[in-house]
Amino acid sequence: MRFFYILVFLLPSIIMCQNDLNYFSKLTEEEKNIIIYKGTEPPFSGEYNNHFEEGVYCCKACGSELFKSSHKFKSSCGWPSFDDEIEGSILRKKDYSLGMSRTEIICSKCSGHLGHVFIGEHLTKMNLRHCVNSTSLIFKPK
């Protein structure tokens, strides 16, 4: 029973501490607020909101590739929007904060908060919008 307790309750904390040492220690306070504490940057304020160069958007914390520039589209929502992701790069978690049900997206490598995903808005053929904080991203040009 003790092993089960350790596995279920302590292991995620231990992993997060390891990630913090490896990935999150180099982040600024603003980046930590969004990536670790699941904050949100103000709409239309992020450097990648209207950014459409060719390349790859990566996790600011660990550098994992998340989105190709071909996935990005102009949604006019105030945050960078992507209608697809690089396979295996993102995990989804139910988010009941702010009194509503949403789906949070996190980096599959470091569990850093990226934003939320929305389905059914009919903005692209994929009918999917990954609404991402610019602060969670770093861009690598092609």
Task: Outline where the chain has alpha helix (H).
Answer: 2-5, 11-22, 29-35
Rounded Cα–Cα distance for residues 46 and 78 (Å)? 8
66: left (phi over 0), alpha (psi -120 to 50) or beta: alpha
Rounded Cα–Cα distance for residues 7 and 120 (Å)? 37
Rounded Cα–Cα distance for residues 107 and 109 (Å)? 5
| Catalytic residue (choose from 59, 107, 110, 131) | 131
Q: Name the amino acid, one letter, at 32.
A: K
Neighbour tally for 51: CB within 10 Å: 15
Residue 39: name the closest of 89, 91, 112, 102 by CA: 112
**Is 131 designated active site?**
yes
Q: Which residues are catalytic?
A: 131
